[in-house]
């Protein structure tokens, strides 16, 4: 069984927010805007003028912390009768929160990303957490955003750390699917998804460096548009195919479960994924040259983080052992064995430490 959930409209170009009202008015005349302090500051000059020109009324609500269903229900109970659509402005957390709210209210969802750190603006799913930042679940929403307004200039002028993290998270789409391509039974969704993921990988290698260098000079070129397309559109598209076969990778399992043991809020999603991808390669017994090449690639985007960078605190050995056990349980419960994920807790724990060692060597070599 195959199900595809994707947005209706995706617009990626510089200064698109100056005309945001012409897109948004198709979805309603009264909108609820969920935002962070920084994200609102970035977009307000262009966005508010465009909304007012289009005759769209809006209500601003500040969001902080982590998304979860309880917060969405609280928003829904307060604003349900007053809005035609919901708009999320910011990064992955606020957009994930907006998607849950829009699904609860059964109204159109509009995503206005201000950083390109994940594909959250495209994806139908929301990653939910406790208020302390511990992973709860990958929440399957019934609908994706109806409209994505990606202002390339704003996205490329955001702190470059976010774009680096988004590049790594996009790379992960390919790294995590690649083991499943060795299976003799390769369904159409796997083949299409892997083709999209591999294309995004190649385009980022070709264009991201140039885009980031130009953005540092205030230039937003076609390379920037292609880079944002890879992080939002292609990475999102690769995740739009839902089937009854879970093509899971170890990097995102590491991310999700590590937050339950040591939340590490100082690191971005993609920065944690970078560690998880090296961990996956160690776990699957990739050749040392291949692992070293991956580490060198990640160094280009300043994404080499050791377990020390996660700030494990006291009882770090016990925390790693707990994480290894949780990952082993997830693999047994959720993974397809033909990808080679048939590991014990002890093997996983050893792979975590070996990934940490290799990344540490890479940091000394490349930084």
In this structure, is residue 341 part of a structural domain? yes
In this structure, is residue 199 part of a structural domain? no
Q: What is the CATH number of the domain that holds 333?
A: 1.20.1090.10
Per-residue model confidence as pLDDT tens digits over 187-242: 888 899 999 999 999 999 999 999 999 999 999 999 999 999 999 999 999 989 87
In this structure, is residue 288 part of a structural domain? yes
Domain end residue (candidates: 94, 128, 157):
157
In this structure, is residue 208 part of a structural domain? no
Per-residue model confidence as pLDDT tens digits over 11-39: 999 999 999 999 999 999 999 999 999 99
Domain end residue (candidates: 157, 184, 216):
157
Contact indicator for 226, 211 with CB cutoff of 8 Å: yes
Residues 153 and 253 in one domain: no
Residues 264 and 141 in one domain: no
Residues 271 and 143 in one domain: no
Domain end residue (candidates: 157, 190, 221):
157
Q: What percent of the chain has pLDDT over 90?
A: 88
Per-residue model confidence as pLDDT tens digits over 147-173: 999 999 999 999 999 999 999 999 999
Residue 297 confidence (pLDDT) above 70: yes
In this structure, is residue 343 part of a structural domain? yes
Q: Which residues contact 149 (CB under 8 A, 6 or more apart)?
A: 11, 16, 17, 20, 23, 110, 111, 112
pLDDT band at 248 (very low <50, low <70, confident <90, very high): confident
In this structure, is residue 242 part of a structural domain? no
Q: What is the CATH number of the domain that holds 50?
A: 3.40.50.1970
Q: Which residue has the higher pLDDT, 244 or 267?
A: 267
Residues 151 and 277 in one domain: no
Residues 153 and 288 in one domain: no
Residue 144 confidence (pLDDT) above 80: yes
What domain count does the chain have? 2
pLDDT at residue 336 in the model: 66
Residues 257 and 363 in one domain: yes
Structural domain range at position 29: 2-157
In this structure, is residue 179 part of a structural domain? no
Q: What is the DSSP string of 226-286?
A: HHHIIIIIIHHHHT-EEESS----HHHHHHHHHHHH---TTS-HHHHHHHHHHHHHHHTT-
Residues 255 and 143 in one domain: no
Residues 153 and 278 in one domain: no
């Amino acid at each position: 069984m195959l199900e595809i959930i994707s947005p209706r409209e995706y617009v990626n170009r510089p200064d698109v927010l100056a005309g945001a009202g012409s897109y948004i008015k198709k979805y309603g005349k009264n909108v609820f805007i969920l935002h962070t302090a920084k994200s609102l500051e970035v977009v307000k000059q262009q966005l508010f003028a465009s909304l007012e020109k289009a005759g769209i009324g809006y209500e601003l609500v500040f969001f902080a912390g982590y998304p979860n269903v309880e917060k969405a229900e609280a928003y829904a109970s307060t604003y349900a009768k007053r809005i035609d659509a919901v708009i999320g402005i910011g990064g992955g957390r606020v957009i994930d929160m907006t998607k849950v709210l829009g699904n609860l209210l059964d109204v159109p969802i509009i995503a206005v990303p201000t950083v390109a750190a994940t594909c959250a603006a495209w994806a139908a799913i929301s990653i939910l957490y406790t208020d302390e930042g511990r992973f709860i679940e990958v929440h399957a929403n019934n609908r994706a955003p109806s409209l994505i307004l990606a202002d390339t200039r704003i996205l490329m002028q955001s702190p470059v750390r976010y774009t680096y993290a988004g590049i790594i998270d996009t790379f992960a789409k390919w790294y995590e699917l690649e083991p499943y391509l060795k299976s003799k039974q390769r369904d159409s969704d796997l083949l299409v998804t892997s083709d999209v993921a591999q294309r995004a990988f190649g385009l980022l290698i070709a264009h991201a460096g140039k885009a980031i260098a130009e953005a540092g000079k205030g230039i937003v070129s076609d390379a920037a548009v292609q880079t944002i397309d890879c992080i939002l559109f292609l990475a999102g598209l690769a995740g739009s195919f839902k089937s009854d076969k879970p093509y899971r990778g170890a990097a995102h399992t590491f991310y999700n479960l590590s937050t339950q043991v040591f939340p590490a809020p100082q690191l971005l999603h993609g920065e944690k994924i970078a560690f998880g991808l090296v961990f996956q390669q160690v776990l699957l017994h990739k050749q040392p040259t291949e692992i070293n090449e991956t580490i060198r690639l990640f160094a280009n985007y300043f994404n080499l983080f050791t377990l020390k960078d996660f700030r494990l605190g006291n009882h770090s050995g016990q925390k790693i052992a707990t994480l290894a056990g949780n990952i082993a349980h997830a693999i047994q419960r959720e993974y397809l064995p033909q990808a080679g994920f048939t590991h014990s807790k002890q093997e996983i724990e050893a792979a975590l430490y070996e990934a940490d060692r290799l990344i540490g060597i890479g940091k000394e070599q490349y930084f």
